[in-house]
Amino acid sequence: MFKAKIYGTGAYLPERIITNRDFEKYLDTSDEWITERSGIKERRWVRDDQATSDMVLEASKRAIESSGILPEKIDMLIVATISPDHLFPSTACIVQNKLNLRHIPAFDISAACTGFIYAMEIARNFIANKTAKYILVAAAEILSKIADKEDRSTVVLFGDGAGAVLLGPSEGKSGIMATRIYSDGNLAKLLELPAGGSRNPPTEETVKKRMHYLKMQGNETYKHAVTKMGNVAVEVLKIAGLTGKDVKVFIPHQANYRIMESTAVRAGIDIEKVYITIHKYGNMSAATIPVALDEAVREGKINPGDVVLLDAFGGGLTWGATVLRW
C-alpha cells in the first residue's frame, strides 16, 4: 500500500530554563505541588525578541538536513500552532520565505495540543493521493507569551519549543499505518484564549481583565484527556491490526504525567515504553510530540521496523492518534 513516512526530524528548544523554584519566588506555589500534580520540574522559555517562526526555522532546518531531501523538493509547508507570530500572515508563510522555499502552499492549522497529529494527517492525505511528494510539517509554540504570569494554575504548566518532520512517500513497510482525529466544540470553554480575535477584539478592558491570556479549567480538562487519549490510542492500534504489546515507543502529548500513565495502561503499553520529556520541557502544546520524537530518534530509541504510537489531546477540544512503523 502507498503510504507516507517520516524522512527526517528536527527540534529547537530555547536556551532559557525556568525551574519550579523560579515560580516559588513570586507565586503561592511550590516545587512539590508542581512536580506531584504534573510531573514538571522545569521548562524552556524564549527570549523577548524571539517569535514562533524563528523557532520553526531552526527545527525545520534540522529536519530537512536529517531527511537528506533538498529544500527545493519540498511541495508544501504546514505549521501547527496556537501561538503564531501574527493572526495573519501565517507563520508558515513567514517560514516559507525564511527557508527560501519555492512558491508552494504554506499554511497554519490551529488544533492546540493535537495540532501536530492534525497537520500530519493533512500531509499524509496529500502524499497518499500524490498531489504532493515531500511535505514539511512543523509544530511550534511560545506559550510563555500567552500564559498569565500571575496565574499559578496555568503558568507553571507551559513551555516553549518547536519540532518538525519531513514527510514523503513510502512503498515499503515503513510509514503511517492508521490515524484518527476528532473534535468536540461543545467543550471549547474548557481551554481558551478569550480575547484578541473577532469575538473580543483588543480594548483597554480586555487587557485590564487579562483576557489575552489562556484560561484552562484544569480539573475538567483532565477527565476528558484521560478517556479520549486512551480510547483513540486503542482505536488506531486496532485499525492497524496491532495491540499495545507491539508498540516500541509511545509518545503521548505531555500535559500531565498522570494522564500519560493512565493512557498507557488503557492501551496496554508498558510504562517503560512511554517517552517522557514533561519533567524538562513542560507542556509545549502542538510542539510537544515532534520535539519528543526528534529526541527519541536521535537517542537511537527508535529504529527501522519499530512501531511508534503518537497520541494527543488539547483545546477545542481536539484529540487524535497516529501509529506508524519506522
- Quote the cell numbers at residue 198: 473577532
List, by residue number, the catalytic residues. 113, 253, 283
CB of 262 to ligand ACO, least distance (A): 12
**For residues 113 and 134, is the Cβ–Cβ distance under 8 A?**
no
- Secondary structure string (H, E, C) spanning 269-313: CCHHHECCCHHHHCECHHHHHHHHHHHHHHCCCCCCCCEEEEEEE
Q: Which is nearer to ligand ACO, 134 or 257 (CB)?
A: 257
Q: What residues pair up with 18 in beta bridges, in sequence order? A: 43
Residues in contact with ligand ACO by the rule CB under 6 A: 29, 33-34, 37-38, 112-113, 152-153, 156-157, 191, 218-219, 221-222, 225, 255-256, 259, 283, 285, 313-315
CB of 161 to ligand ACO, least distance (A): 13
CB of 127 to ligand ACO, least distance (A): 27
Q: Which is nearer to ligand ACO, 3 or 228 (CB)?
A: 228
N- to C-terminal Cα separation, the chain: 15
Q: Which is nearer to ligand ACO, 67 or 114 (CB)?
A: 114
How many Å apart are CA 67 and CA 144, to the nearest integer? 30
Q: Which is nearer to ligand ACO, 189 or 238 (CB)?
A: 189
Q: Which is nearer to ligand ACO, 259 or 308 (CB)?
A: 259
Pairing of β 106-109 and β 74-80: parallel
Helices (H), 46-133: 52-67, 91-98, 115-128
Element (H, E) at 33: helix 31-38
CB of 133 to ligand ACO, least distance (A): 32
CB of 226 to ligand ACO, least distance (A): 9
How many Å apart are CA 94 and CA 73, to the nearest integer? 18
Neighbouring CB atoms inside 10 A of 265's CB total 13
How many Å apart are CA 44 and CA 26, to the nearest integer? 18
